[in-house]
Amino acid sequence: MLSKGHKVRVLDALWYGKEPLEELSNNSDFELVQEDIRNLVSTVSAMKDMDAVVHLASIVGMPASSIDPIASEEVNYLATKNIAELCQLHEIETYVFASTCSVYGSQPNTMITEKSKVSPMDFYANPKILVRKVYTLGQ
């Protein structure tokens, strides 16, 4: 997006480190807001004046989700739901959300699409399924 001349603001708690963002920090069109996505005030502020949102924040995978299931639920469902609602409130029409294929479970020899049967195999996938329902109801 930066290479296309867009301004980019990233809200990130930096749980997984800052290294991927370091080379971007020299770009005047890049802004890093170091904050937890569960902080609604910071999220509202970070989304101010945005034309689009690409939401990648997540507590990733079953091991991390099982260590702290409450944090997983807060980040993977509640904060994501808040972002979707804020997009509607601020009329942000372009919203990209990265989910997980774990919502489909194990479907061997099958090409998985968004219309595939949802069959979660673990706790990690459950909040992702709830988020899908939020988006479906919001359309």
Give the separation between CA 59 and CA 64, rounded to whole angstroms: 7
The pLDDT assigned to 135 comes to: 67
The pLDDT assigned to 133 comes to: 75
The pLDDT assigned to 76 comes to: 86
User: What is the number of structural domains in the chain?
Assistant: 1
**Highest mean predicted confidence (pLDDT) among 26-30, 69-73, 109-113:** 26-30
Q: Does residue 114 lie within any of the structural domains?
A: no
The pLDDT assigned to 3 comes to: 92
Q: Which residue has the tokens 């994501």?
A: 80
Model-level pTM? 0.79
Counts for the chain of helices (H) and strands (E), in that order: 6, 4
Q: Does residue 20 lie within any of the structural domains?
A: yes
Kindly report the CATH number assigned to the domain that includes residue 55.
Answer: 3.40.50.720
Ranges of H-type helices in 61-124 = 61-67, 69-73, 80-89
Q: Does residue 82 lie within any of the structural domains?
A: yes
Q: Does residue 113 lie within any of the structural domains?
A: no
Q: Residue 24 — φ and ψ, nearest 5°?
A: -80, -25
Q: Does residue 133 lie within any of the structural domains?
A: no
56-84 pLDDT per residue, tens: 888 887 777 788 888 888 988 899 889 98
Q: Does residue 49 lie within any of the structural domains?
A: yes
Q: Does residue 134 lie within any of the structural domains?
A: no
Weakest mean pLDDT among 24-33, 62-71, 127-136:
127-136
Q: How far is CA 38 from CA 34, 75, 131, in A?
A: 12, 6, 15
